[in-house]
Amino acid sequence: MGREKIFRFKQFAVLNDRTAMKVGTDGVLLGAWCPVEDAKCVLDVGTGCGVIALMIAQRNQDAAIDAIDIDHDAITEATLNFDRSPWKGRLSAIEGDFNDLADGKRYDLIVSNPPYFTGGVLPSGESRTTARHTDTLSYRQLIEGAARLLTDNGTLALITPTDGERDIIEAATFASLPIRQLTRVIPIEGAAAKRSLWVLSRCNLPYREDTLTIAERDNSFTPEYVALTSPFYLKM
């Protein structure tokens, strides 16, 4: 996926010039994949330019979506993108720390493409480092916070690298927020999975585990990936 200042989708466009984290495959996957049915109140954690929140607004015409980010430039950009979208009345950008959210409001769906660098060489630039490094929002903090803010039947959906699976399982167990679905994302047929898509919920749902392959060996997109993302990508 190219890094453009304006990324155009079928029903909306996003400016992603100032925000540290640009539009990328991870965010689009999560926005297209997460379960949005019957979700009236949604929270997007670490919204960046707001692309996931916008995708959810497109998929669920009844959802009111709060989008929170600790980075001022991200919220400035998300606000612009929301105001220029067809769903501006249902989208709200909040500058703040997810860890500091009060207990009052409850969400049917919390969705996040969380930071995932846990050590080693950090990305250059302070904003990008904050957006990508788990020092500011660990998986455990995210899952415990979601457990506190979700409705009784609410759902947390997120995407992580596959090497974070043990941390997610431990955090979900500690927070008493059971894992209901795990979808491992394979970038190209025959390769190892690189990402994991998760659904956590207290709803008594049967556990499901499957895979999603993005591309065939000839680099053409798989039918399952086209079906998932074609409502959004212009050239799908």
CATH number of the domain where residue 58 is located: 3.40.50.150
Residue 14 maps to a domain: no
Question: Using an 8 Å Cβ cutoff, are 160 and 132 in contact?
Answer: no
Residue 146 maps to a domain: yes
User: How many distinct structural domains can be found in the chain?
Assistant: 1
Look at residue 196 and tell me whether its pLDDT is greater than 50: yes
pTM above 0.85, yes or no: yes
Element (H, E) at 32: helix 25-33
Residue 3 maps to a domain: no
CB < 8 Å & 24+ apart, contacts of 164-169: 164/116, 164/118, 164/139, 164/196, 165/196, 167/139, 167/140, 168/139, 168/143, 168/196, 168/198
Residue 98 maps to a domain: yes
Which residue has better confidence, 150 or 18?
Answer: 150
Residue 8 maps to a domain: no
Residue 1 maps to a domain: no
| pLDDT above 70: percentage of residues in the chain | 89
Give the domain range for residue 118: 22-229
Residue 30 maps to a domain: yes
Average pLDDT rounded to a whole number, residues 170-197 = 97
CA atoms 100, 112, 50, 86: torsion sign: negative
Average pLDDT rounded to a whole number, residues 153-179 = 97
Exposed e or buried b for every residue in 199-235, given b needs 16+ CB within 10 A?
bbbbeeeeeeeeebbbeeeeeebbeebeebbeebbee
Look at residue 92 and tell me whether its pLDDT is greater than 60: yes
Residue 67 maps to a domain: yes
- Split at pLDDT 50, 70, 90, the class of 117 is very low
Q: What is the pLDDT of residue 134?
A: 44
Look at residue 66 and tell me whether its pLDDT is greater than 60: yes
